[in-house]
Amino acid sequence: MAKPVCYSTKAFAAASATAPLAATTIERRQPTPTDVRIQIQYCGVCHSDLHFARNEWHFTQYPAVPGHEIVGKVTAVGGGVKKFKVGDTVGVGCLVDSCRTCPSCRAGFEQFCDAGMQGGTYGGTDKYFGTPTLGGYSQSIVVTEDFVLRMPANLNPAAAAPLLCAGITTYSPLKHWKVGPGQKVGIVGLGGLGHMGVKFARAFGAHVVLFTTSPSKVADGKRLGAHEVVVSTDAAQMAAQAGSFDFILDAVSAQHDLNAYFNLLKRDGNLTLVGAPAEPLPVAAFPLIMRRRSFSGSFIGGLPETQEMLDFCGQHGITCDIEMIRMDQINAAYERMLKSDVKYRFVIDMASLK
Ligand code: NAP
Ligand code: ZN
Ligand code: ZN
């Protein structure tokens, strides 16, 4: 494959697992005929960015540029681009490409591509240069139009940015497990993912119960849409919920006891894990086998479902609750995220990267 010409753009990168993120300059390709160049306005801060920057999943290559909740304006398009024009407000999520030929890709489940995460927005492999892909903590990005999303015009672009990961990661499993009216649904962890899980489960008509380790988040949980909020460190509050849930979505970023949540499911209930803690989570047999309960996982979402989710948010006026930060506040933001102290997603104002 012919190598495109490159240009330089400013970014924030981690040089090692222990180094704070710092300003740098990276190279991106000039748009090929099917590419769109995007001036990044906002980039959400996902807990995955922190796991990745610190090599907690053991596959990070450095320098690492995180960021996969990207919203910006199209500033150039290749000659063959059909869907977008200069000036459009667009989004880019966790994927910038995939093999496009495996059964999952053909079915629109690019997140489950047989080539793995080669097409990841960061930590993937650039198909032109063979180098690691670099994410959205940068001034601009170039992406094939097939992996660029239309942003609903009525949504605040900064508050919509985290829909590109936190939004689709919670929307997809709630849809897959057909969450809706008449069901009791639990959301575990009120962070970036969890607060969107609460909003979507409520929008889909379920009875929503939020589980949080933070008593200070009870009022916010209700404001965001939960009918009930359970402080999960309170054994009596947990016991009162035993055997009552159709579905539980677990969005916790660290070690915790899954078995306590299996016990809250009804017969044939399901717990789906979207949280991605670095360490294994022990699963006891009895909480699962006794009521034919099931345990599954879910991973972001494919391009068609991500567009569907964005359009749903446009129709229902759903966005994320965000705290805007400057690019140079990212290391402090990571420390706050580790303390579960974010309401409920940091978003970087990329104009601050000068
Ligand atoms: P986040 O904003 O940091 O939220 C995580 C929440 O988990 C915290 O706010 C806290 O909620 C709870 N929590 C943290 N430590 C805990 C502990 N030790 N025990 C119990 N609860 C704890 O993170 P996020 O961005 O939402 O991401 C959550 C996880 O999902 C991360 O591991 C991330 O990598 C992963 N993720 C997965 C996918 C996927 O496709 N599956 C996509 C994106 C992210 P409370 O204060 O309410 O307890
Ligand atoms: Zn993410
Ligand atoms: Zn594929």
Per-residue pLDDT tens digits for 143-168: 999 999 999 999 999 999 999 999 99
| CA-190 nearest atom, ligand 1 | 47
Q: Report the mean per-residue pLDDT for the chain.
A: 98
Beta strands in 203-354 (DSSP E): 207-212, 228-231, 245-250, 265-273, 294-297, 322-326, 345-349
**0.85 surpassed by pTM:** yes
In angstroms, the CA 213 to CA 231 distance is 6
Q: For residue 255, what are its two tokens?
A: 């070690």
Ligand 1 atom with minimal separation from the 45 CA: 25
- 81 C-beta closer than 6 A to ligand 1: no
Mean pLDDT calculated for residue range 20-38: 98
Find out whether the peptide bond into 66 is cis, omega within 30 degrees of 0.
Answer: no
Report CA(70)–ligand 1 centroid distance (Å). Answer: 20
- Tell me the mean pLDDT in the region 93-111: 98
Give residue 2's pLDDT: 80
Mean pLDDT for the stretch of residues 57-71 = 98
Is the N-terminal amide bond of 344 cis, ω within 30° of 0?
A: yes
The pLDDT value given to residue 1: 73
Pairwise CA distance, residues 144 & 36, whole Å: 6
**Model pLDDT, residue 114:** 97
The answer to whether the beta carbons of residues 185 and 200 sit under 8 Å apart is: no
Residue owning the nearest CA to atom 25 of ligand 1: 47
- For 245-295, write each residue's pLDDT tens digit: 999 999 999 999 999 999 999 999 999 999 999 999 999 999 999 999 999
Q: Residues 116-144: pLDDT tens digits?
A: 999 999 999 999 999 999 999 999 999 99
pLDDT greater than 80 at residue 78: yes
How many whole angstroms separate alpha carbon 167 and alpha carbon 72?
17
- 66 Cβ below 6 A of ligand 1: no
